[in-house]
Structure 1
Amino acid sequence: MRARLTLLVAATTVLVLLAFLVPLAVLVRQVAQDRALGRADDVVQSIVPLAATGDIGALRLTVEAQTVPVTVFLPDGTVLGTPATPTPAVLLAAAEHGSLTVTTGAGQELVVPVVGASGATVVIRTLVTDAELTRGVTRAWATLAGLGLTLVLLGLLVADRLARTIVRPITELSAVSHRLARAELTARADPAGPPELREVAGALNHLAGRIQDLLAAERERVADLSHRLRTPLTALRLEAESLRDPDESARVAAAADQLARAVTAVIQQTRRADTPAAAEGCDATAVVAARVAFWAVLAEDTGRALHQELPSGPTPVAVAADDLAAALDALLGNVFAHTPDGTALSVSLSARPGGDVSLTVADDGPGFPAALPTGRGTSGGDSTGLGLDIARQIATSFKTSPPGTAGASIHLTLPAPPPS
């Protein structure tokens, strides 16, 4: 923008200067010509009275004293002053007794006939050369060009200063907007520049403050809701401990502990929402194996065949263990919620070239509906519509089987951890 403003001022200045300097240059040349012709005419007019009296001696002295080349042709053929032969203009003036100004290859020729006391015609001739006609024009043009160049440079300097005062606030506004995009909600713009930019800076500051207030209110609500869940979780854990079947008690207690960890994670995330989260990682094999083992009990109770394919060794991924567990729980929970009892399902985990890891959850149910809902919080069934979105957030690639086909499958690509 700064360069464009400077270029605009430069173009405008050049056009204005051309509109003034070109006519002025033509006028300077015309004035130089008129001045040279006027000086030559003054010399000729000073000789005319002597030529009319017929005093040859005085006429000779006057002609020879002139600094301008003057030639006087007498009726008897005598030539006084600068030697020259009679030109067609001289002969025509002598015949018709009229003054002439003729343009020749050497310059402007002035011819004035004078009728003497004896009735004979004396012709006075002077030649104004092209050098005389343009004397001082080149210097004047150079001065005008230098003046024009100085004005253009001055205009560029002023335009650059003006553009800087406009561009600097815009650059600062852009920097503040990028800081806000990086979750630096304390960033504020300094109102500066033209009134319009100051108004934009004020609006951006108001927007940042409003966002900060909304996020703070949202964190308070989430934290409050999370704390409220503590009481039913405690009651659930006590109920699990009171069960007579040790296996059933352990399974329900593990579910309560998992829910408690999820609630704790939500609280921690709301507390550090203003700071970028550090990159976390986990062993995907261990996390998937633990969650499959948890859901295997429910699969056995509902008559579902649960098949798993996991690597024999650790599979590191750049996803937090809690996030991966929550995503897998959401996908497996969808299978149990939206397929009839006895439907087989499978979970597979495999490493891909380049370090990424592929996670697939599939079932033999009716598949996805033809009109698969899209968007966070949108569901085609009796659910929150957040299950697929939770899984989508941890993956670099998220694919589902085509809607309307038998059997549903979801493929996630988990990012590899950064090189150490």
Structure 2
Amino acid sequence: MRRMTVRLAVLTCSAVASLVLVAVAVVLWRAAEDRTMALASAQTTAVAEAVRLGADTDQLLDSVARTDLGARGLLGVRGPDGWTVGTVHAAATPTAPASAPGETVVDAPGGTAVVRTVPTEGGLVTVEAFLPDGTVWSAVRSDYVLLGLVGVTAVALAALAAAIAVRPTLGKLAALQRAVASLGHGELGDIDSAVRITGPPELARIGAGLNRVSRRVRDLVTRERAMVADLSHRMRTPLTALRLDADSIGPGPLADRIREAVATLDADLADVIRSAEKQPDRVSAACDAVQVVRTRMRFWTALADHQGRPCRLDCEVAEAHVGVDAADVAAVVDALVTNVFQHTSPTTPLEVTVVKHAGWVNLVVEDGGVGIGDTSTALRRGVSGRGSTGLGLAIARETAASCGGSIRIDRGRLGGARIHLRLSELGVQHSPSDPRACRILPRYRERDRLTDH
């Protein structure tokens, strides 16, 4: 903003100074021109007076030499018979008629001549003062240089004044910028004292509006945390009853799987309560996506075996670290696989693939069901065409977006839905020209097709 303000001040001052200086330059030029013509007229008048008094050639030569123009060879006298005293530049025939003696200005080679005609007994005598081209410019050159220095000084002072005047405003804008940045980073803190703007009323109103928005955001976040914690606590009662029922089943694989699911749900609820009651963690999240997927798929593979559902995990990489928390990756796997279990028959095949390529970690979940009809609304939070909450795909989309990734829905080789999630590999910076990691997936699909046959 400082640069813009200084530039505006310089342009404005330059425009005003240009108008003023041009007007002053024109006045100075005309004044110098008038002075030059008046000087030439005065000197021709003095020599013409000597001619009128009947001075001889020597006296005229002395009169011409005593003038400034004559001393520089710019003044002369021409007689009616063609005789001359000094230096004559104009034509031999005077422009003024003999019956109208006086002064006239005529063009001469290389300049202008001021010619005064004097009638004598022997005829018409002309006294000429020659003004070379550039005489007026020589008279105003120093004045024009001074005007230029004045203009440059005025523009520089205007730029300095603008820079000094805008400094307090820049400080207030910097305070606004810091407040907005802290709000964007989730640093709610003491919002009431975050922005204190005094000065221009516009900035004061912006600061007041930002304070209102900040307080509103803080209130909404507080209410959201309270609501999440309250709902989590309310779920503890039916969860406790479910745990007691699971304990009463007795030993066996089914009972162990139910108890493991209850324990996992209890741990998730505890994490939700803890996260709702504390400030957001500013530490950068990271995890090994391969380890998380393998851990979660052990649970889902056991459940699929119990249903008789074909379930396959294709994960050849040893590790793949992404900039997402392990709980978020696990939530994505659970959400996508849960959608398959809920919306397809028990015999529908399920396949989960993890591929690492070109700085991307690709998580692909596909099934052999009927697919997703409207893919344009499937990723919207709370929108579902099959009676569910519609949060599964929204959770996956938000998790991918948190690390600069993406999600794509299409039809897979099994015939049903294919959810392709791209997560940025930890520590890898991507640009639009980087190759897309999804290009590696057709190789795996071809390999699987050959394996099936």
TM-score normalised to structure 2 length: 0.76
- 1:257 CA displacement: 0.8
Pairing 1:62-81 to 2, within 5 Å after superposition: 65-69=66-70, 71=76
> 1:149 aligns to what?
152
> 1:402 aligns to what?
411
Deviation sequence 1:171-227 (CA, Å, 0-9, x none): 443343233222222473442553212221221222122111211111111112212
Does the Cα contact within 8 Å between 2:89 and 2:113 map onto a contact in 1? no
Pairing 1:308-387 to 2, within 5 Å after superposition: 308-311=312-315, 314-318=318-322, 319-340=324-345, 342-354=346-358, 356-370=360-374, 373-387=378-392
CA distance in structure 2 between the partners assigned to 1:87 and 1:122 by the alignment: 15
Pairing 1:17-416 to 2, within 5 Å after superposition: 17-46=17-46, 51-54=51-54, 65-69=66-70, 71=76, 82-84=85-87, 88=91, 95-99=98-102, 100-105=104-109, 107-115=111-119, 119-121=121-123, 123=125, 125-130=127-132, 133-186=136-189, 188-192=194-198, 194-282=200-288, 284-285=290-291, 287-296=292-301, 298-302=303-307, 304-311=308-315, 314-318=318-322, 319-340=324-345, 342-354=346-358, 356-370=360-374, 373-395=378-400, 396-402=405-411, 406-416=415-425
Task: Count how many residue pairs are aligned between Structure 1 and Structure 2.
Answer: 411
Percent of aligned positions with the same letter in both sequences? 30
CA distance in structure 1 between the partners assigned to 2:381 and 2:245 by the alignment: 34
Structure 1 residue runs of 5 or longer lacking an equivalent are: none
Q: Aligned pair in 2 of structure 1 residues 213, 136: CA closer, same or farther (>3 Å)?
A: same
Does the Cα contact within 8 Å between 2:232 and 2:272 map onto a contact in 1? yes
AA in 2 matched with 1:353: H
AA in 2 matched with 1:333: T
> 1:9 aligns to what?
9
Q: Aligned pair in 2 of structure 1 residues 292, 64: CA closer, same or farther (>3 Å)?
A: closer
Give the match's secondary structure for 1:142: helix
Structure 2 residue runs of 5 or longer lacking an equivalent are: 429-453
Q: Aligned pair in 2 of structure 1 residues 96, 351: CA closer, same or farther (>3 Å)?
A: same
CA distance in structure 2 between the partners assigned to 1:54 and 1:408 by the alignment: 124
Q: Aligned pair in 2 of structure 1 residues 47, 165: CA closer, same or farther (>3 Å)?
A: same
Q: Aligned pair in 2 of structure 1 residues 268, 284: CA closer, same or farther (>3 Å)?
A: farther
AA in 1 matched with 2:183: L
CA distance in structure 2 between the partners assigned to 1:310 and 1:134 by the alignment: 91
Larger mean CA deviation between 105-114 and 137-146 belongs to 105-114
CA distance in structure 2 between the partners assigned to 1:244 and 1:86 by the alignment: 134
Does the Cα contact within 8 Å between 2:176 and 2:195 map onto a contact in 1? yes
Q: Aligned pair in 2 of structure 1 residues 181, 273: CA closer, same or farther (>3 Å)?
A: same
CA distance in structure 2 between the partners assigned to 1:311 and 1:251 by the alignment: 24
Give the match's secondary structure for 2:357: coil
AA in 1 matched with 2:243: R
Q: Aligned pair in 2 of structure 1 residues 282, 139: CA closer, same or farther (>3 Å)?
A: closer
Give the match's secondary structure for 1:129: strand
CA distance in structure 2 between the partners assigned to 1:386 and 1:126 by the alignment: 104
Larger radius of gyration: 1
Q: Aligned pair in 2 of structure 1 residues 71, 244: CA closer, same or farther (>3 Å)?
A: closer
Does the Cα contact within 8 Å between 1:109 and 1:125 map onto a contact in 2? no
Q: Aligned pair in 2 of structure 1 residues 121, 132: CA closer, same or farther (>3 Å)?
A: farther
Does the Cα contact within 8 Å between 2:98 and 2:119 map onto a contact in 1? no
Give the match's secondary structure for 1:374: coil
CA distance in structure 1 between the partners assigned to 2:69 and 2:318 by the alignment: 110
CA distance in structure 2 between the partners assigned to 1:325 and 1:53 by the alignment: 122
Q: Aligned pair in 2 of structure 1 residues 124, 225: CA closer, same or farther (>3 Å)?
A: same
CA distance in structure 1 between the partners assigned to 2:358 and 2:231 by the alignment: 41
Q: Aligned pair in 2 of structure 1 residues 193, 343: CA closer, same or farther (>3 Å)?
A: farther
CA distance in structure 1 between the partners assigned to 2:317 and 2:162 by the alignment: 67
